[in-house]
Amino acid sequence: MSRYRAWFAAQDDPDERYPLTDVVYYSRSGGLLEVQHDMAALGERSAEEWKQLFDSRWMRTTWPYGSGVWGKKEWVCPEVDDANVVSTFEGGSNLFWAERFGREIGVEDLWIKMCGNAHTGSFKDLGMTVLVSVVKQMISEGRPIRAIACASTGDTSAALAAYGALAGIPTIVFLPKGKVSLAQLVQPVAHGATVLALDGDFDACMRVVRAVTSNPDSGIYLANSLNSLRVEGQKTVGIEIVQQFDWAVPDWIVIPGGNLGNTFALGKGLLMMYDLGLISRLPRIVCAQAERANPLYRAFQNGWRYEPIKAETTAASAIQIGDPVSINRAISTLKRFDGIVEQASEQELADAAARADRTGAYACPHTGVALAATIKLVERGVIARGDRVVVISTAHGLKFSRFKVDYHENSLPGVTSRYANPPVELPADVDAVRRVLAQRMGE
Ligand SMILES: *Cc1c(COP(=O)(O)O)cnc(C)c1O
């Protein structure tokens, strides 16, 4: 038995508590539940001891601690049996110095956290490993769960389907028809999920899945991020970034935001480090939104007064959300971290991704949103030239090949591709090839 404990608590009444293995998503007053940890027990170990423990496990093979998430098990979900952990050794993604790109945009200490280098190609694996592990634990304790379901803009369903398949638990995913990339659609299909493509947007899928899972007797467990178990895994991203800098805190962390669970999760992990003394200051957080799906940006401009909007089509399809589930807790996080919300147009996000690719990254459109926001904040002098900046790359560029191809064919709607690099089509003729090469190299 672990000496550490965690439980669900109502946001508005910390005394309203439930075990993490209960099928419960809302408090009695209808608010979201948070996972709380026994901080007094965690505080019995010194900051130095925690750092040493986490470093000793980092990327090793001892099950399940080599996972970036489960290497911090005491802080994440202490009471799951190791035998019930469902893991692909997620986390531990590379943090790379974007040297050339940073120099180009005027901030030399620029880093990209490559969360898309993950089993299912996005950072959603970080949270899904926790949720599916808890479900496996629940089933092993005899709870009648028959399936796990989620609404998704693509990456959540890919992660749920993969982790469900690993555990042998059936999964059901609700996708907005025609609004996810081909790679994202084929992932749950391949993993054997029941894939329901609904005629509507993400917000509509969310309403349907909430209704389907609202009765605990349905035996269908809800995996969306309003289920705070996922936050516990997602929050390790900020802890990892600091750990990868040998426990030094960067000045800025930039993250793209849609449903905003991840903005909250990033802050939660950092605050835990702060409260347990592993760090003594906090970075500033920038949440980056697509201009066409920007309810948080509007709220930021408007003294944090929020109103849901109807999200319009954006290449950053995973964040095409008009009524984010975690709006309130994301706003609290941004206030605590002296945060900023910036937005990026289709032109800006596509060009930013293309420029990053030219310097060796391979940015998905959401990462493009975060990079474009970074460029704007550097240009405005908000981010200073000497600041250390980390951009969280949320998905692998290879999941968005259509976006890349369309950009380089100059056919993305509303975008003039300033960095297009289409292939040159030629006859298989040496002289023709020499002429083109002479032109290209001569310049
Ligand atoms: C889910 C997702 C996001 C946004 O995370 P939220 O918690 O919904 O704000 C950003 N990028 C990608 C690729 C995602 O899959």
- Residue 434: count of CB within 10 angstroms of its CB: 10
Give tens-digit pLDDT for 378-410. Answer: 999 999 999 999 999 999 999 999 999 999 999
14 within domain boundaries: no
Q: What is the pLDDT of residues 242-252, one digit of tens each?
A: 999 999 999 99
Evaluate if residue 443 carries a pLDDT over 70.
Answer: no
Pocket test for ligand 1, best of 113, 119, 120, 122 (most atoms within 8 A of CB): 122
The answer to whether residue 379 sits within a structural domain is yes
Average pLDDT, integer, range 269-278:
98
| Gap from CA of 191 to ligand 1 centroid (Å) | 21
Q: Answer whether residue 64 is part of any domain.
A: no
Q: With 0-12 CB in 10 A as exposed, 13-18 as middle and 19+ as buried, what is 11?
A: middle
Q: Phi then psi for 290, rounded to 5 degrees? A: -70, 135
What DSSP character marks residue 338?
Answer: T
356 domain-assigned: yes
Distance from residue 414's CA to the centre of ligand 1 (Å)? 23
400 falls within a domain: yes
Question: Does position 70 have pLDDT exceeding 60, yes or no?
Answer: yes
What is the atom index within ligand 1 of the atom nearest the CA of 255? Answer: 10
Which residue segment(s) compose the domain that 303 sits in? 95-120+231-408
Ligand 1 centroid, distance to 33 Cα (angstroms):
20
CATH value at residue 372: 3.40.50.1100
| Residues 399/121, Cβ–Cβ less than 8 Å | yes
Nearest to 346 by CA among 417, 438, 399: 417
Ligand 1 binding residues, C-beta < 6 A:
122, 124, 155, 225, 256-263, 318-319, 364, 366, 394-395
Asked, for residue 357, whether it belongs to a domain, the answer is yes
Instruction: Read off the pLDDT of each residue in 337-346 and give the average, rounded to a whole number.
Output: 98
Q: How many domains does the chain have?
A: 1
Conformation bin of residue 92: beta by default, left when phi > 0, alpha when psi is -120 to 50 = left
Mean pLDDT, rounded, for 90-113: 97
The answer as to whether 150 is a domain residue is no
The pTM score is: 0.96
pLDDT score recorded for residue 407: 98
Q: ω into residue 283 within 30 of 0, thus cis?
A: no
Classified as helix, coil or strand, 376 is: helix
Tell me which range, 53-57, 200-204, 209-213, is most confidently predicted by mean pLDDT.
53-57
Residue whose CA is at the smallest distance from ligand 1 atom 2: 318
Ligand 1, atom 14: closest residue by C-alpha? 318
| Average pLDDT value for the chain | 95
Give the end-to-end CA distance of the chain in Å, rounded to a whole number: 68
Tokens read off for 43: 């505080």
Residue 203 lies in a domain: no
Q: Which atom of ligand 1 is nearest the CA belonging to 256? A: 10
Q: Which residues contact 110 (CB under 8 A, 6 or more apart)?
A: 97, 98, 99, 101, 102, 374, 389, 391
